[in-house]
Structure 1
């Protein structure tokens, strides 16, 4: 296996809902490829897309624009079902330049049954970051001042976050939290506002590991809001020794059972997907369950969380692994007892790169090899399509159509696109 060292940087933080401050209007550009539209404007360096849809079928693409001075801003662009843009992109963070984001930890966006739009993001705060949520009640035209979700005060890193909304409007949030993690000066400097960003180890399974020390293990925390994101519950720690640069996931079903997933660091540096569930709306959680013994042992971080999808009768999990227990690639597993136990894992595809996948019912979206995004129908991937030169995908399904936001490299910068399949 080869562990490739990556320096991933990001700078994202803000407080607002201002239209784009640019003389150049954003007019999405159609690609020669069928049903692909460029979201971001020229002469910018956008990345980290997230996508959601409201009950009327409108599509929202959030993305982060990175500036040369390492500052960053979070924008959102609205589209109709035919990928026609609606209005100009809107800046979500009211205070310019304070967003912190990188490829492994994009913003999260979701829409409530009443069409309210919620965006979770990380904001710089001194030598640390805060996990915040911004809310729009007018279709993404304006956003409220962000609400801080983590309830600690001392500077610390809060990220790798996830967001979900229940049918009753309750907002559920999970994230990795370093309030209790001691870091030496070298490691702490990676979080500072002056530093270029986080240093992580990336897997591409072809050779020796980098000798660079990875981040120390983190902890996973959870909170919920019952007032539309105006305030959040006391933070609840769910686990320690968590892989520090693998995204969390949170979801809920129609019975208000809540699920949170993360990548647990086990004895011997095995890094496996874990799930914990709550039967009382997030008040308390049952002990975590390891989804599969993949035998993936590495003293590094794969930058790869899981996707989870729940109904009242079952929980499905999709994740990447490169353990000696089988072929490297994406796998699924199912629980029919509320996440207490999981059936045998099912191999999905070895045409894969480590990353955080998306699970949309029977549709699976994940990072393929050679900078491609793969859209597969069913765990056996019998029906499959790809998008070339497409990285860091985010996806949502509307009336049987899959909408995918992704990053495309353009010379020395990046661009954000949306496609439908």
Structure 2
């Protein structure tokens, strides 16, 4: 059932000193088509090897506060001309709650963004738009039907059967009438057809962490979703739930970290899938000891290996994870020590070898200004996107996979 992860690792493996890779491992920085005012970048690599990047940029017009969700694709080191998925006023723009764009198997595109729906700064709704068969963007729809002026965000989108789209999001309808983050955040999901008709609305978990990103992957004919839970005594572990097209499973625990924290750490999990093989990466800090962990499943996410610690003591988190062709899992995270910060990556090979830690980018700080970095793999390279905290907009770095061998 398991690879070496569960067999050879009777206890959690620790990454040790996390030494940086050699200078020759330094990534190249790519020119990007996004302006200096851009932020909230998102990356996706599809099955044909195309890398898609989306971002949000301000579009002030006649004194109005306008924003646009823009996107482009990468050809080696060159980007296509940017296009616009959506544009409007009253958008909710936040460093942690990042819009996304996703190519669909039938050649269409799907995207999501957030729009304010009330006077409170914590009142906003999910907007999901899709292109039609001719490539034109259709009007956006809202997958939730509660109508409350509360938080709705941290969306994960997945292509679904019969030209449909699966959406999962954090839903704050039970916080209505409460101050700040009082009340209970929930996890909900729905399926949208190609015209935007919403069906299969469901409650997946009635009490979750309030503002940690979600993650979702396709595993065969099912969807697997990871999110940060919230127990009655404020233990915030990572849980999983799966969708078979008709119903959702009861949530299951990924690993009992026992991290008890009164507030949301704004650090969600990340999933990657390769056939029935699934990697889950996450940040945790029980007893004040920050760690980034990864675990692997060989049965579609029903059972996971003992976690491997890929970074400890200095990570800030905001993880992502990808699989390489040989089954190696590569994890990215933000880390900071001795006044320096970096977006780092490290590989864990199928037989258990941990690569040196390599810095994808050196940063002045692992602050909110960096946003939520994203990592994808395409061919012989890894690509990472983040926001410059020095007002230089979206940044993209490229790293040869071989430097992690």
Partner of 2:99: 107
1:249/1:261 contact within 8 Å kept: yes
8 Å CA contact 1:93, 1:99 repeated in 2? no
8 Å contact from structure 1 (residues 55, 115) kept in 2: no
Quote the Cα distance in structure 2 between the aligned partners of 1:384 and 1:137: 43
One of 390, 393, 409 as aligned partner of 2:389: 409
TM-score w.r.t. length of structure 1: 0.75
> Pairwise mapping of residues 209-224 of structure 1 onto structure 2 (< 5 A)?
216-224=183-191
- Equivalent residue for 1:328? 290
SS of residue in 1 equivalent to 2:266: coil
Structure 1 residue 56: deviation in Å?
A: 4.7
1:91 maps to which of 65, 69, 84: 84
Q: Write out aligned runs for 1:137-286 (5 A).
A: 142-166=136-160, 169-184=163-178, 186-187=179-180, 216-225=183-192, 227-228=193-194, 230-254=196-220, 256-278=221-243, 280-281=244-245, 283-286=246-249
Residue in 1 that maps onto 2:3: none
Question: In structure 2, do the counterparts of structure 1 residues 67 and 76 end up closer, same or farther at CA, with 3 Å as the change threshold?
Answer: closer
Deviations 1:355-404 (A, max 9, x none): 24233452222223244211222265414422122833112222232222
Alpha-carbon distance change, 360 to 340 in structure 1, aligned in 2, over 3 angstroms? closer
Shift of 1:408: 0.6
RMSD over equivalenced CA pairs, Å = 2.9
CA distance in 2, matches of 1:86, 1:312: 30
* Pair 1:394 & 2:394 matched: no
Q: What's the offset of the Cα at 1:319?
A: 0.3
SS in 1 for 2:89: coil
Query: Shift of the alpha carbon at 1:134?
Result: 1.9
Corresponding residue of 2:344: 374
SS at match of 1:354: strand
CA contact (8 A) 2:70 2:86 kept: no
Give deviations 1:4-50, integer Å, cap 9, x for gaps: xxxxxxxxxxxxxxxxxxxxxxxxxxxx97242243224xx321111
Moved over 6 A (4+): 67-70
Deviations 1:239-270 (A, max 9, x none): 1220001011122112x111111111113211
Which stretch of structure 1 is more off in the superposition, 382-391 or 229-238? 382-391
Closer/same/farther in 2, CA of residues 115 and 372 from structure 1, 3 Å limit:
farther
Closer/same/farther in 2, CA of residues 223 and 268 from structure 1, 3 Å limit: same
Once the two structures are superposed, what CA deviation does each residue of 1:277-297 show, in whole Å capped at 9, x if it has no partner?
23x22x211211111111211
Change beyond 3 A, Cα 1:46–1:323: same
2:30 to 28, 36, 42: 36
Q: Tell me if structure 2 keeps the 8 A contact 1:221–1:235.
A: yes
CA distance in 2, matches of 1:388, 1:77: 25
Unaligned runs of 5+ in 2: 1-25, 400-405
Aligned pair partner of 1:129 in 124, 128, 139 = 124
Q: How many residues in Structure 1 have an aligned counterpart in Structure 2? A: 351
Distance 2:305 2:201 in 1: 31
Structure 1 155/267 Cα, relative in aligned 2: closer, same or farther at 3 Å?
Answer: closer
Q: Distance in 1 between matches of 2:233 and 2:197?
A: 40
TM superposition score normalised by structure 2: 0.77
Which whole-Å CA distance do the structure 2 matches of 1:314 and 1:38 have between them? 33
Structure with the bigger RCO (C-alpha within 8 Å, sep 6+) is 2
CA pair 167-253 structure 1, distance change in 2 beyond 3 A: farther
Determine if the alignment matches structure 1 residue 120 to structure 2 residue 128. Answer: no
CA distance in 2, matches of 1:376, 1:97: 40
Query: Is residue 275 of structure 2 the alignment partner of residue 315 of structure 1?
Result: no
CA distance in 2, matches of 1:153, 1:71: 23
Distance, in Å, in 1 between the alignment partners of 2:209 and 2:101 is 23
Return the offset for 1:181: 2.3
CA distance in 1, matches of 2:104, 2:48: 11
Is this contact kept in 2: 1:331–1:346, CA < 8 A? yes
Q: 1:173 is paired with a residue of what secondary structure?
A: strand
